[in-house]
Structure 1
Amino acid sequence: MTFTQHTMNSQEHYTPPHIIEMAREVLHDIDLDPCSSDLANKTVKARRYYTSQVCGIKREWTNFYGTPVSVWCNPPGSRHIKPSLPIQFWSKLCNEVAEGNISHALYLAYSLEQLQQCQKAGYPPMAQFPLCIPRRRIAFIDMDGNEQKSPTHGNVIVYIPGTLDNTDAFKRVFSELGYVKT
């Protein structure tokens, strides 16, 4: 894949298994992955997931009983849609937390630039939440299941408490990956 500034040829960039294992250690179970695929969910193992054909931005994020869910969110990229898909998923996540639908969540921002974008768009700043800036750029998985070259920019993983707060576990687990701000 050819990388350009903050983008790549495909919107799809799946999370490597070791990061999902870290996420599972913080969230325990992953109830929902709102921006996934059949291939990605083989690693994530969310109880429920939405694919690009069933847009997670427009769907409910609660479980069938209406109780809060734990969420893993690694949104697809898109610079051609305004606001961008990552910012739309961030907004949806913040709204769902505010409505009490999320127990807690992890959001993987493909680019550190998203820290700025969400502020400019008027959404709650990612930096107000606990976050991890990995020491190394994340080598994502492509649509064929192969590890990609690392992107040309840094990534960030944000922990969003909802009805549960496992910030201490987030700090302990993700400190192995990089700098954690709580």
Structure 2
Amino acid sequence: MNSQEHYTPPHIVKMAREVLGGIDLDPCSSDLANRVVRASVHITSQQDGIKSAWRKQFWNQGVSVWCNPPGSRHIKPSLPMQFWEKLCKEVAKGNVSHALYLAYSLEQLQQCQKAGYPPMAQFPLCIPRRRIAFIDMDGNEQKSPTHGNVIVYIPGMIDNTEGFKRVFSQLGYVKV
């Protein structure tokens, strides 16, 4: 696949909805991806979820966020790291009630430390037993996932760490 777009499989989105109690915002989405995610509000690449205000633009209180950023090797820092930094800043501002971040690669655990971002490993996380077979832009499951993944739970105003552990332990090892 030549695209940066790697959509989340429906069974993982369902798990995310269960932990978050629904998804208010997907800041790095598309109209196609949101057919599965069903976020109340989604921000497309044209709208730029990194530069957009997450709280003031949409709600008067914190939002539950699902974040599966597009990959990019040509932008420094990478788009996933830019979305990680934005998510951490929005949590710190009190704009996010709680969130889930899907890192396409276990290497992101290392990258966020090198770049000075809050380490993903300080939060509850799930390392799936198998690589996630993302969905391509045509709606087909990718045949050969190239990276191991990690799903990070970021508590904000709401802390559902126990729910994260219960739900995502079905997918793989959960560290809280």
TM range (shorter): over 0.9
Q: Where in structure 2 are the equivalents of 1:131-146 lying within 5 Å?
A: 131-146=125-140
- Consecutive unaligned residues in structure 2, runs of 5 or more: none
- Of 5, 19, 22 in structure 1, the residue corresponding to residue 12 of structure 2 is 19
1:153, CA displacement in angstroms? 1.7
- Consecutive unaligned residues in structure 1, runs of 5 or more: 2-8
1:66, CA displacement in angstroms? 2.4
| Identical amino acids, percent of aligned pairs | 82
CA offset digits 1:43-76 (Å, max 9, x no partner): 0000000111111000011163421000000000
Q: Where in structure 2 are the equivalents of 1:13-162 lying within 5 Å?
A: 13-62=6-55, 64-162=58-156
TM-score of the superposed pair, with normalisation by structure 1:
0.94
SS at match of 2:133: coil
Asked whether 1:178 is paired with 2:169, we answer: no
SS at match of 1:142: coil
Corresponding pairs, count: 175
Code of the residue aligned with 1:31 in structure 2: it is D
Structure 1 stretches of 4+ moved >3 Å = none
1: CA distance, partners of 2:58 / 2:77 = 29
Say which is worse superposed, 141-150 or 129-138, in terms of deviation: 141-150
SS at match of 2:46: coil
SS at match of 2:33: helix
**Structure 1 pair 12–65 and aligned structure 2 pair: CA distance change class (3 A):** closer
TM-score of the superposed pair, with normalisation by structure 2:
0.97
Is residue 76–residue 85 contact of structure 1 (8 Å, CA) maintained in 2?
Answer: yes
Is residue 138–residue 150 contact of structure 1 (8 Å, CA) maintained in 2?
Answer: no
2: CA distance, partners of 1:42 / 1:152 = 25
Is residue 69–residue 103 contact of structure 1 (8 Å, CA) maintained in 2?
Answer: yes
SS at match of 1:35: strand
2: CA distance, partners of 1:151 / 1:158 = 19
1:33, CA displacement in angstroms? 0.1
1: CA distance, partners of 2:169 / 2:113 = 25
What is the CA RMSD across the aligned residues, in angstroms?
0.8
2: CA distance, partners of 1:112 / 1:72 = 18
Code of the residue aligned with 1:26 in structure 2: it is V
